[in-house]
Amino acid sequence: MKARQAAPQPRSPERRRFFEVASRYGFTTAVVALTGGFLWSEPEVAYAAADESAKMKAAKFTMIFATEYKEDAYHFYPIMQTQFKANLESMSKGAVYVKLHPAGQLGVGGALAQKIQGGTIQGGSLSLSNFSPFAPVVDLINIPFWCGQNQQFANLVTSSAWNDEITPKVTAKGYKPMFYFNIDPRTVAVRKGFGKIVKTPADMKGMKMRVPSSKLLQQFYRMAGANPTVVAWGETPTALKQGVADGLDPSIGALYAFGFIDIIEAITMVESVPDAQMFAANQRWFASLPAALQKTFDEASAKTQAESFAQIAVARKNSIDALSKAGIKFYKPTAAEHKQWLDACGEPRPEWEPFKKELAGSVATFDKLKAAANTKGSITVAS
């Protein structure tokens, strides 16, 4: 699988300045300078470099934390890596230093998941769909229309049911789930030249739908009438341009952040499944921390999780504004059209029962999780 494309880098001359600072002072300092707004101030950059060096030397533990996304992607894509760094360093009173490696520097997708699992790096951000081969149980979220809305997903992943049923199975694979978050619901986006907006499953008949490695997403689009095709993320733009694929399903923010603005012509907001991720740490590394620091680590993670959910609406608006200016059309199905989606491929259909039994252990356990998704939790997500 080819590397997942990183979000667009700062444009010249800002981009050149960013890499100049990175080469002289280190990538973490460049990240801090860019997000702090003082990239062009040599004295402030030098001070930040000294400060980062001092913090790293003073810390009892260093956490190398890697993502596929550039450091300021949160404006369009609510991944809060710099906020997590600030939260953990502050709340641990400097006991833990977080060394960020954004923009795919240390790998993407499965390669990144393997490094976290093996302890090569201490933590990172993982797409749940790409993570499902490592911990298949998380693929449950890709059964459509039971936790696709942001509030439902927030309710689910902060519930005792999720913590009791899902977390131990992820931990058993060598991962410490720091927290789960959502980019936004997945969409149905079609390439330029496709010629129509997808409003109902009938519009997907025969459509070549690019999907990630999730078996459940493949099943979903087969039930909707499409021909799902697994295409490596890095090959997806070319597949769309050449007509090998007609559409894809990332969230609105992902479509903008990963550069599909010149490739797609319409986006349908079906709210089927969450385009979800998690911040995960290596379980052995986390277990090596003193008990008090583990508690602080969990508190910093919870704070960042709340900040991630709060950023969704802001990031979505920024993405929609940018995509709309490029002429991309947006469509939200009517109530009657939404019912057609539910009838064709919704969670109650019998085709999903084997997956519920396989992944959740039983239909009863799945129903317990479904109830949690529809019970208001500690986080309120703006629509």
pTM of the shown model: 0.90
Q: Say if residue 285 is in the same domain as residue 268.
A: no
Q: Say if residue 160 is in the same domain as residue 198.
A: no
Q: Say if residue 81 is in the same domain as residue 130.
A: yes
pLDDT digits (tens, 9 = 90+) for 152-175: 999 999 999 999 999 999 999 999
Q: Is residue 127 part of a domain?
A: yes
Q: Is residue 1 part of a domain?
A: no
> What is the CATH classification number for the domain harbouring 204?
3.40.190.170
Q: Is residue 381 part of a domain?
A: no
Q: Say if residue 295 is in the same domain as residue 339.
A: no
Name the average pLDDT for the chain.
93
For range 344-359, the mean pLDDT: 97
Q: Is residue 4 part of a domain?
A: no
Q: Residue 36: its pLDDT value, please?
A: 80
Per residue, the 3-state secondary structure of 266-303, as one string, reads EEECCCCCEEEEEEEEEHHHHHHCCHHHHHHHHHHHHH
The parent domain of residue 201 ranges over 188-273+320-373
Q: Is residue 382 part of a domain?
A: no
Q: Say if residue 36 is in the same domain as residue 129.
A: yes
pLDDT digits (tens, 9 = 90+) for 267-303: 999 999 999 999 999 999 999 999 999 999 999 999 9
